[in-house]
Structure 1
Amino acid sequence: MVETVSFRNKAVEISAHLHLPDNFSEDKKYPALVGIHPAGGVKEQTIGQYAARLAAHGFVTVVYDSSYQGASGGEPRLLEDPTIRVEDARCAADFLTTLPYVDVDRMGVFGICAGGGYAISVAQTERRFKAVATVSAAPMGEGSRAFLGHPTPVAEQIATLEMVAKQRTAEANGAEPLYAPFVPEKLEDIDENTPDLLREGYDYYRTPRGQHPNSKGRFLLTSMDRMFAFSAFDQIPELLTQPLLLIAGSKADTKVFSDQAYELSKGPKELFVVDGATHIALYDVPEYVDQAIPKMVDFFGVL
């Protein structure tokens, strides 16, 4: 069962799907999960597939389009603001607490790709989340400062920020906004030097495999200053005391981020490596997703 619902993050209305367990009864109390989609994604894509399968195992699961993205409200469109993304997850938890069939003492959070970074971030200060799981985690702050684990020289970061500053001034004075792609927009943009993350990202987001009309695969260029200023991992050693499950493919070029989070965590933790899987393969390839889901079901069984 899937219900179309909505909740608010301040003035922004958030469009969401509520996935309900099989044989759902409003007279029962269920554990509940918040699912956070990848950057550039929407609730109908990989996060929705995971939500449906987790709901089938007895979890009330809410997934949503982030503020300024997908079918949710907010201007400017396609803004990727990490702090607002984290607040979206808090507001999703608020929403779950209003449902009489949700056990508010048994809530968890999970995320895929950038959503995994946001799940880790929100769990550090949102104690209503009793457990956190990630799939192919790729935190936006750490990722913007170190692409696939390779640090971006400070001079390049500053040059990017200078460009963003000029663009903000231009837009404040009437210029059209500029957008940057999360993944290649054309097949001819891919060559032998394109990382697997981007090569496979094109195949997922730009072809019938995973494309959706609300998923533009782009972000507002002036989001970059917010990304550079954000860290999903900075308080892990001190504040992330909840159980942590990190799922990553053995061939994922983003596995470095799951490795980093695992090393930083001092609480209960597990790094589950799916042999042969790449970053994007864990989005929808059955042989790999079929390994991730039982692990998550078992993990969230602690709720």
Structure 2
Amino acid sequence: MKTRYWIGLICLPFLIQCTDNSTIEKYQFVPLDTLVYNSLLVELGEMLFFDPRLSLNNSVSCASCHNPKLAFTDGEKSSLGIHGRRGKRNSPTLWNVKNQDKFMWDGGIKSLEIQALVPLQDTNEMGGEITDLFPKLSNVLLYDSLAKILFNRSFDPFVLTRALSAFQKNIFQENSPYDDWKKNGLILDSALVRGANLFDDVLNCANCHGGVGFTNNSLQNNGLYSVYEDQGRYNITGDSADIGKFKVPTLRNISITSPYMHDGSLETLQDVIKHYSKGGEVNGNKSPLIEAFTLSKKEEADLIYFLKSLKDKNLAN
């Protein structure tokens, strides 16, 4: 163990003891990948992720919309923020975000550090300016003490965003039945193989949902609507060719991250397959990759079996 880790872990129990009553009990989520980040920084990010004091009225935490038990989603079409306000879009999973280079459904943010500032300041989410959080958070002795250990500075927006980013980049795992098959040749049911063949070679879903992350991280119009109320990427670029384009999401853990699409408008995997099987709605910006197809009941069952095989084995059904 490196010296800086050792010092941090020795100091941590003392810091917890001397922290005032504002210290909260945090969810015991074990980071899945600590190869890159200082483990103490990840620990700080984890505490912040579950701390409702990051919201203007101390009622909403990052975990309110990104529940670990739901692969860091919330099961809602759009999330509830402060004062019961609804967010504008569906909360995407944070699984494997360390392998992504675009954030938010419209791809308008390029780093996790900057992304953290968006929900903090959205009036429908956590509700305040970043300056509203300080000195409220910097007065928490534990946070300020850890900031000094890690960065030799007081707890401030720099430390906040770096810690949250470090924690989220550790929400990473490739530990599903699909991975058992691809890495170890273990097949629990031939439906997985048949479904994977449909996904990769027959329907060509892997054109957008390829690789180990099951996303190419691009922005596409998938024909969800003929007319888009939320115009997606266009809101960032002002280019009419971008109307209706949204980030291609990862399919890992898709069986427990419903509802689907940027607005949560599709409730089930069957609904998603139905949308794509009809070739989507007529829209001038729709990706040419979206083409109608027909599946038998058995083929649809195999495809859904494959999609369900992407769920991490550490997550409950």
Q: Which of the five TM-score ranges fits, normalised by the shorter chain? A: under 0.3
TM-score in terms of structure 2 length = 0.25
TM-score in terms of structure 1 length = 0.26
Larger Rg belongs to: 2
**Higher normalized strand content (fraction of residues):** 1
